[in-house]
Chains A and B, each alone.
Chain A
Amino acid sequence: MTLAENLFENLRLELRRGCLTLAVLAQLRQEHYGYTLRKALANRGMEIDENTLYPLLRRLEAQGLLTSEWREEEKRNKRFYKLSPDGEEIFARLLKEWNDINTAIENLL
């Protein structure tokens, strides 16, 4: 990887990092467990690596933005995540921020 590619990759990851959280919060307005969440995000064009998504879910839960419960589905115990009331509030504010940034960037371009 050349220096320019490396720099681009770092900047791309930096740009994606915040967006991933927003995407996960948006998708978790409906209940999901890890794998179906990943598939749902991928179906909407937001591919997330397992090693990023599953730990992210735990971090967001530890921060109080998600709630989770273990439940059996298709003869297998799965951990289902959903946006918590705090998470809904934060999500709404982040979404507004996202829209503001988006508008500003569009104005700049």
Chain B
Amino acid sequence: MEMLDRYLQAVRRHLPWLRQDDIIAELRANLEAQLEDKEAELGRKLTNAEMEAWLKQLGSPLHVAARYQPQQYLVGPALFPIYWFVLRLAIGWCAVIYAIARTVEIVSNGQGPDAIFGAVAQLPWVLFINAAVVTLIFALVERSGAKIPEKFVQGAAMGNDWPNAPVTPFDPQLEKAKKPKSYAQAVVEVIFGWILLVWLLLVPHYPFLLMGPGVVVLYAVPYQLAPVWWTFYWCIVVLNAVELTWRIVDLLQERWQGPHLAEHLVKKSLGLIPLLVLLAAPGHVLIVLKNPADTSHSAGLAQINLDLYRACEVIAAIVILQLVWTIVKVSMEAYRRRLAAAR
């Protein structure tokens, strides 16, 4: 019996912490009953060797305990097709972006074959990390999906109803307004939100990610961005991080169907902050000279700053008008619902 106790102790170590006692008590009762049957059949106690053989036959403690784990896979069959699609997309685009980025870097810096070999050798790691991050995100989604299986299955089965199209003419605007966001859409939005954030964080180190081959112009012109652009940039990064966090929280709390009105308005309003940062630039200076002593470009610089500032004012005006229009629409919709409820 001591050997059985040791076996059960080893199983317990690998069991889910909250259910250990219950599972072990049940397993003990079943195994002891089985042992009694064996001994009754033999008419004697099992020898140590027989006992050891029997326990070995039951399976290793790790293997036995694993069967009691609620989930034994990272990405389940329902989510796997989307995972596989996104993984291929992410790896493909990662390889393309990496190849362009490193090529531009090598060409613009005039680096030799060593840099090319280094870039090629680094590619598998870059792809591996990319795949690991995508897998991690899907594993998290899978875990949250396991808690809400009915919605998870609906989300995974996206597109299954396509042959049953409505007989009325298709109205994309109406459809968009009425149809809640599916689980799969919300998952894809989170993934692309993450990719966008990573891309944003890489842009200062690899400007060609934003400008492509045109980045050489940046090195050729005598101007550079004023420090206020750093504040602008970090505002954009923070806004995207907040947006991504918001989406993940919505997903985990089963609220992915669509943003609430208040949430929508808050996001729109926050979007104004980076523009206001530019409009508040000291002396309306958005571009400065790389070499402040170079007076030959001073006149052109003043005109560029003026034009850029005017452009920022126009964009800010458009964004404010959009915000006002959204508030009007939201208010009208709320009024319409109140009237409908009153009837």
Contact = CB atoms under 8 A, between A and B. Distances in A.
Interface residues of B, number: 17
A77 interface: yes
Nearest to B34: A35
Contacts of A51: 58-59, 63-64, 67
Interface string B10-40: 0000000000000101110111111001000
Given A51-B58, A76-B32, A34 B26 contact: yes
A54 B59 CA distance: 14
Interface string B31-74: 11110010000000000000000000011000110011000000
Contacts of B31: 35, 50
A55 interface: yes
B68 A35 contact: no
A58 B29 CA distance: 15
Nearest to A49: B59
A33 B30 contact: yes
Given A50-B58, A77-B25, A55 B67 contact: yes
Contacts of A34: 26, 29-30
A52 B33 contact: no
B30 A52 contact: no
Main secondary structure of the interface of B (DSSP, over half): helix
Interface string A15-45: 0000000000000000001111011000000
A79 B67 contact: no
A52 B72 CA distance: 14
State the 8 A-B residue pairs at the shortest beta-carbon distance, nearest first.
A34-B30, A55-B67, A35-B33, A35-B30, A78-B29, A79-B26, A55-B68, A51-B67
Given A35-B29, A36-B33, 17 more contacts: A33-B29, A33-B30, A34-B30, A35-B37, A50-B30, A50-B31, A50-B34, A51-B58, A51-B59, A51-B64, A58-B23, A76-B29, A76-B33, A77-B25, A77-B29, A78-B33, A79-B26
19 contacts: A34-B26, A34-B30, A36-B33, A39-B37, A50-B31, A50-B58, A51-B58, A51-B59, A51-B63, A51-B67, A52-B67, A54-B27, A55-B68, A58-B23, A58-B68, A76-B32, A77-B29, A78-B26, A78-B30
Interface of B: 23, 25-27, 29-34, 37, 58-59, 63-64, 67-68
Interface of A: 33-36, 38-39, 50-52, 54-55, 58, 70, 76-79
